[in-house]
Amino acid sequence: MNRIEILSTLEKKPPAVLIVGAGINGAGTFRDLALNGVDVVLVDRGDFCSGASAASSHMAHGGIRYLENGEFRLVREAVRERNRMLQNAPHLVKPLATTIPIFKVFSGLLNAPLKFLGWLDKPSERGALVIKLGLLLYDAYTGGQKTVPRHSFFGRKEALGRFPQLNPAIRYAARYYDGSIFSPERYTVELILDAEGEGSHARALNYVSLVGRDAGKVVLKDEISGQSYKICPQLIVNAAGPWIDHANRGLALTTEYIGGTKGSHLVIDNPDLRQAIGKTEFFFENQDGRIVLIFPLADKVMIGTTDLPISDPDSALCTEDEVDYFIEMVARVFPDIPVTRAQIVFRFSGVRPLAKTQAKNAGQITRDHHIMQDLLGAIPVYSLVGGKWTSYRAFAEQVTDRVLADLGRARKAETACLPIGGGRGYATARQTVSPRDEGLFARYGTRSVEINTYIAAGEDAPLEHMPDLTRGEIAFLVEAEKVVHLDDLLLRRTMLAFLGHLTRPLVDEVAGICAAILRWDESQRAAEVTRVLDLLAARHAVRL
């Protein structure tokens, strides 16, 4: 069903379950419930994966640093889920070699016991011995699954031989493997499309907000038309991330579940740094004790992340102080490679939906997930608090089991080994993909077959201002992936903005394609271009 058809059925056919928030936790729960035949509607006040989930570090990882907090169950779960992401979405999640530059040997041995006793405000720098013990345990959690290689340790001479521009003050370097998520936004959208593919009982709407309650019903507002809809679901799942408490207030529920922290990142165009890191992420401890990263992403480098308390998630922006922090951080590891503001092509910031806590510093706040239950009259409201991107499937499974129990239904489908979107049949298709289709296959996996069929049915040509993409590919995304605004396409269905590829002529060219398909008149097309330019400048410091 298209957007208009879904909206027209909301009041006539209210869902058993309403999910508020289409980030990764909401999308994962939506898919699991859809697979199990539950009548479910997913709504988000913005686009899918446009909030906290879009501000991730692009890592599918077990969270090795949480071992120091004693969160062994969390790390074990996350390593298992990392492996499943690599297996189920191989077109979007790839094994990632990760290098830790190590400057000390015995430092950090007391971090864990001091944290346990509550005496640690700032951890000591982790030395070689602590890191070695952590990696041994990390490998053990992978078990017999051969998704990624085991870790290795290098002395100073070998490390500098492998990475000549590393800081010569290092004592050792360690290498282990996690996963990289090329586009978290695409991953989330494919989950949603998979769910809707299960049948008309699963419906997803972007730009629909929860605005209140009225006589026991939930009031939703279509942000495009302004029309309101009153529905009465049997159960509500609040997956609004950092906005969980805000969404609950809209239901007249007073909660204080979230105490999130802000994480910012830069994407930079620095060929020297990109060459220096190769295919390897550098993941290390900065001098303030914060774990930071230098991440290879296509031909760019992503640098992150901060971990700063914040009260208003809508105010999260990457500040100039954070930019200074990132530039200084790179200099600690690669002192001979200058990074400048002029090299920044994109910056972004988001808020982790962590549980409210009295932890002494942000790094000690648990990334574990749990469900909080409230009642809206007789309607249960489940708030999904905390969690890591990597553990979304396990969290969604836990939520779905609770929902199914409340509805008196038995689970009939599992998601642990279920391919996602273009990951279906990926290994076999990869052996036969033609050189002509390699670009599409790299971006969409086996969904490239569907895209090629769509393109073949009409006329196609490369984009004038981005010849690596074609008009047919862009048109397919607009028609098949619920694009409402121009920024949905430029920031989330593609990586054009993220990788610094946007120019004003390209924005205008893509806007013209959207206008033809979505039937925008000239004034609306111009308004969409202005919206994108304003958003890029205000949120990402990109001025075209």
Residues 242-287: tens digit of each pLDDT: 999 999 999 999 999 998 899 999 999 999 999 999 999 999 888 7
Question: Does 439 map to a domain?
Answer: no
Would you say 536 and 544 are in contact if contact means Cβ atoms under 8 Å apart? Answer: yes
Instruction: Give 165-211 as a DSSP string.
Output: TS-TT-SEEEEEEEEEES-HHHHHHHHHHHHHTT-TTEEEEESEEEE
**CA separation (Å) from 299 to 91, 185, 451, 499?**
18, 19, 25, 8
pLDDT at 143 > cutoff 70? no
Residues 252 and 292 grouped into a single domain:
no
Question: Does 59 map to a domain?
Answer: no
Residues 197 and 344 grouped into a single domain:
no
Label residue 286 left, alpha or beta by phi (over 0 means left) and psi (-120 to 50 means alpha).
beta
The SS3 of residue 497 is coil
Residues 194 and 177 grouped into a single domain:
no
Would you say 352 and 56 are in contact if contact means Cβ atoms under 8 Å apart? Answer: no
**CA separation (Å) from 78 to 82, 192, 388, 394, 397?**
6, 22, 8, 9, 14
Would you mind telling me the total number of residues written for the chain in this entry?
A: 544
Residues 287 and 332 grouped into a single domain:
yes
**CA separation (Å) from 348 to 183, 266, 340?**
14, 7, 17
Question: Does 312 map to a domain?
Answer: yes
Structural domain ending residue among the three candidates 181, 199, 217: 181
Per the omega criterion (within 30 degrees of 0), is the bond before 305 cis?
yes
Q: Which residues pair with 151 in a beta bridge?
A: none
**What is the phi/psi pair of residue 9, to 5°?**
-100, -5
Mean pLDDT, range 113-122, rounded to an integer: 49
Nearest alpha-carbon partner for 347 in 383, 302, 289? 302
pTM of the model: 0.95
**Per residue in 90-115, pLDDT tens?**
999 999 999 999 998 866 554 544 45
Would you say 92 and 385 are in contact if contact means Cβ atoms under 8 Å apart? Answer: no
| Number of domains composing the chain | 4
Question: Does 81 map to a domain?
Answer: no
pLDDT at 362 > cutoff 60? no
| CATH number of domain containing 209 | 3.50.50.60
Structural domain ending residue among the three candidates 126, 160, 181: 181
Structural domain boundaries enclosing 111:
93-181
Q: Which pLDDT score is estimated for 352?
A: 92
Question: Does 57 map to a domain?
Answer: no
Q: Which pLDDT score is estimated for 506?
A: 98
Structural domain ending residue among the three candidates 376, 407, 438: 407
**Per residue in 308-326, pLDDT tens?**
989 899 999 999 999 999 9
Q: Which pLDDT score is estimated for 106?
A: 67
What percentage of the chain reaches a pLDDT higher than 90?
81
Residues 192 and 236 grouped into a single domain:
yes
Would you say 441 and 429 are in contact if contact means Cβ atoms under 8 Å apart? Answer: yes
Mean pLDDT, range 515-521, rounded to an integer: 97
Question: Does 477 map to a domain?
Answer: yes
How far apart are alpha carbons 240 and 382 in whole angstroms?
11
| CATH number of domain containing 334 | 3.30.9.10
Question: Does 82 map to a domain?
Answer: no
Q: Which pLDDT score is estimated for 114?
A: 44
> If residue 386 lies in a helix (H) or strand (E), which one and from where to where?
strand 379-386
Question: Does 25 map to a domain?
Answer: yes
Sign of the CA dihedral running 111, 355, 390, 489? negative
- Which residue is listed with tokens 């089991």? 401
Q: What is the CA radius of gyration of the chain?
A: 23
Sign of the CA dihedral running 420, 13, 239, 485? positive
Residues 291 and 347 grouped into a single domain:
yes
pLDDT-derived band at 1 (thresholds 50, 70, 90) equals: confident
Q: Which amino acid is at 363?
A: G
Residues 245 and 272 grouped into a single domain:
no
Residues 224 and 271 grouped into a single domain:
no
To the nearest 10°, report the CA torsion of 196, 202, 206, 212.
Answer: -170
How far apart are alpha carbons 75 and 59 in whole angstroms?
14
Least confident of 4-13, 364-373, 386-395, 409-418: 364-373
Residues 267 and 344 grouped into a single domain:
yes
How far apart are alpha carbons 372 and 370 in whole angstroms?
7
Hey, what are 474's tokens? Answer: 């862009």
Residues 243 and 380 grouped into a single domain:
yes
pLDDT at 74 > cutoff 60? yes
Nearest alpha-carbon partner for 497 in 533, 530, 472, 525? 533
Q: Which amino acid is at 480?
A: A
